């Protein structure tokens, strides 16, 4: 009876029904070409010729370089099915309209100046070792370097959560929340109690969450319950029964803004595994960052970009961009990333820190799916004498992604990169620290999806205290980790290595 009920729930779920309808659409689009191709050798030849021409055009397209290999394989291996899919998914009208609307909202908000920010302050940092990285982010992503901001680092979800609740209780004007995952459980129930009380007090509460990431986690009454409380809540890019390439673009950001003067970000979503209230993949190692002061405006700005795109209304940034400087001498540079934009801020920042490091660069990465350029940058840094260390999970959440992660180990170790796997469980933190001079706490993974298909955000910090805390946390994490060696790589069976290489072909979609 329980099995029947479970099967019934799966079949009647929105995820299953919507996915089934999309599959029917794809079949309906491909079947005519398959039918014609089998009936006529000439049509088959024409379709093959078209697929070859498209493959050549893809090879010369610099805009989507990481996805070239997989599309070329699909087009040449299955031309009759491949080229209709390529044309539909890569040149979808709805996706184009959504991308343009997203870009329009971003351009509009980028014209709004941040309160209390002096553009000349960036040039006061010209002697900083990573001044070039500061300039790049500031110019390409409208990401100013702020002073007068207190930063507080949290090495895990357990230390993050009590402070998070405490600060939520202080809200007097508004609370903005934007998360990839919200899952009902202990953490969310505690947050929801505070939000209900704040709504009764007249505090404006807005929530954005990614629809696909939460589609199997939240009940159908989730939005109705929150709206009855007074919360303005919307799913980002709702999952619908349409063949739409923009559906691949998800909101992976983690942001909370309280009254425009306190902000939280990092890798921690609003679900129980992130605070180790439940166990999924051993101990869940994550990280968070709290900002208090002028730099919170940048987190507010990022949230309002998403809000303007989703709700299709003027987000009125002047009302919410509040400059309340704090007595602090650290430099903070929040930024955001969008697949609809021309700049890949997360990828470029990782790359520039790796290339700019003189003494060391340490990284934590739940997924290590590397482009050739990034792999070469890590190897070149190591062979030039930089102490390069990477910490990945020992217990994987996705076996196929972990297989691709491990496929990079041999080349990295051969170049001198020290690779560690965190034995207690799963490392979800996205951290990089270099030369005791710069560190980044971000939502961006070392993979193609984060670099090219997800809405992300991060914070560059240049204050010594916070960098020392992050470095200390990574040192402790490495002490709990297993050092991966060349001998361990070579002990891997030939079959397993072959499977890993095969999976790497599909890595842009993992």
Q: List active site positions.
A: 252, 254, 259, 428, 430, 435
Beta-bridge mates of residue 178 = 208, 255
**Half-sphere exposure (Cβ direction) of 193: Cα atoms closer than 13 Å:** 7
Q: Is 303 within 8 Å of 334 (Cβ atoms)?
A: no
Provide the Cα torsion 61, 66, 67, 72; round to 10°.
Answer: 70
Torsion angle defined by CA atoms of residues 39, 69, 393 and 190, in that order, rounded to the nearest 10 degrees: -70
First to last CA, the chain: 35
Distance from C-alpha of 117 to C-alpha of 323, rounded to nearest angstrom: 9
Half-sphere exposure of 334 toward its Cβ, with a 13 Å CA cutoff? 29
Strands (DSSP E) found in 343-437: 360-364, 387-393, 418-422, 425-427, 430-434
Contact 458, 441 (CB under 8 A): yes
331: phi then psi, degrees, rounded to nearest 5: -105, 135
Task: Answer yes or no: are the C-beta atoms of 208 and 303 closer than 8 Å.
Answer: yes
270 pairs with which residues across the strands?
182
Tokens 């430099």 -> residue: 331
d(CA 371, CA 393) in angstroms, rounded, equals 19
Of residues 432, 431, 438, the one with CA closest to residue 467: 438
Going by DSSP bridges, is the β-strand pair 149-154/288-293 parallel, antiparallel, or unpaired? antiparallel
| Angle, vertex CA 168, rays to CA 280 and CA 154, nearest 5 | 50
Provide the β-strand partners of residue 149: 293
* Residue owning tokens 């709504």: 199
Among 274, 269, 255, 265, smallest CA distance to 157 is for: 274
Contact 254, 179 (CB under 8 A): yes
Phi-psi label, residue 490: left if phi above 0, alpha if psi -120 to 50, beta otherwise: alpha
Structure tokens at 476: 């402790």
| CA 458 and chain centroid, separation | 9
Report which secondary-structure segment, H or E, holds 37.
helix 14-39
């Amino acid at each position: 009876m329980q099995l029947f009920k479970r099967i019934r729930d799966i079949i009647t779920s929105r995820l299953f029904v919507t996915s089934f309808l999309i599959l029917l659409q794809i079949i309906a689009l491909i079947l005519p070409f398959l039918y014609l191709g089998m009936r006529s050798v000439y049509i088959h030849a024409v379709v093959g010729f078209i697929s070859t021409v498209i493959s050549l055009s893809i090879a010369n397209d610099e805009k989507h370089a990481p996805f070239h290999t997989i599309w070329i394989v699909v087009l040449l291996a299955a031309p009759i099915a491949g080229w209709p899919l390529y044309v539909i998914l890569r040149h979808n009208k709805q996706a184009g309209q959504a991308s343009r609307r997203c870009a329009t909202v971003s351009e509009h908000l980028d014209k709004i100046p941040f309160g209390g920010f002096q553009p000349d302050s960036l040039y006061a940092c010209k002697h900083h070792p990573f001044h070039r990285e500061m300039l790049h982010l500031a110019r390409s992503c409208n990401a100013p370097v702020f002073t007068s901001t207190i930063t507080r680092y949290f090495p895990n979800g357990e230390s993050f959560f009590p402070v998070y609740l405490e600060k939520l209780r202080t809200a007097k004007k508004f609370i903005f929340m934007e998360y990839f995952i919200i899952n009902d459980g202990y953490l969310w129930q505690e947050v929801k109690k505070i939000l209900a009380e704040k709504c009764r007090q007249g505090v404006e509460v807005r929530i954005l969450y990614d629809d696909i990431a939460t589609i199997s986690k939240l009940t159908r009454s989730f939005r109705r319950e929150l709206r009855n409380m007074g919360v303005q809540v919307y799913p980002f890019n709702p999952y619908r029964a349409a063949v739409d390439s923009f559906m691949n673009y998800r909101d992976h950001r983690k942001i909370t803004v309280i009254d425009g003067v306190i902000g939280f970000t990092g890798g921690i979503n609003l679900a129980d595994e992130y605070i180790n209230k439940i166990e999924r993949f051993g101990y869940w190692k994550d990280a968070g960052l709290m900002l208090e002061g002028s730099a919170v405006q940048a987190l507010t700005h990022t949230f309002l970009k998403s809000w303007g795109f989703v709700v299709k209304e003027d987000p009125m940034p002047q009302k919410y961009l509040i400059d309340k400087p704090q007595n602090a001498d650290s430099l903070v540079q929040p930024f955001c990333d969008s697949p609809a934009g021309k700049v890949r801020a997360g990828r470029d920042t990782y790359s520039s820190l790796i290339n700019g490091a003189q003494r060391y660069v340490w990284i934590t990465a739940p997924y290590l799916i590397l482009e050739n350029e990034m792999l070469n940058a890590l190897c070149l840094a190591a062979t030039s004498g930089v102490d390069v260390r990477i910490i990945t999970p020992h217990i994987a959440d996705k076996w196929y992604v972990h297989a691709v992660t491990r496929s990079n180990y041999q080349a990295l170790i051969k170049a001198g990169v020290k690779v560690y796997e965190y034995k207690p469980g799963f490392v979800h933190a996205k951290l990089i620290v270099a030369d005791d001079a710069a560190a980044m706490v971000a939502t961006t993974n070392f993979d193609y999806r984060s670099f090219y298909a997800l809405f992300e955000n991060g914070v560059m910090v240049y204050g010594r205290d916070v960098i020392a805390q992050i470095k200390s946390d990574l040192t402790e994490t490495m002490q709990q980790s297993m050092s991966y060696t060349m001998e361990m790589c070579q002990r891997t069976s030939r079959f397993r290595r072959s499977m890993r290489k095969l999976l790497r072909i599909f890595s842009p979609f993992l």
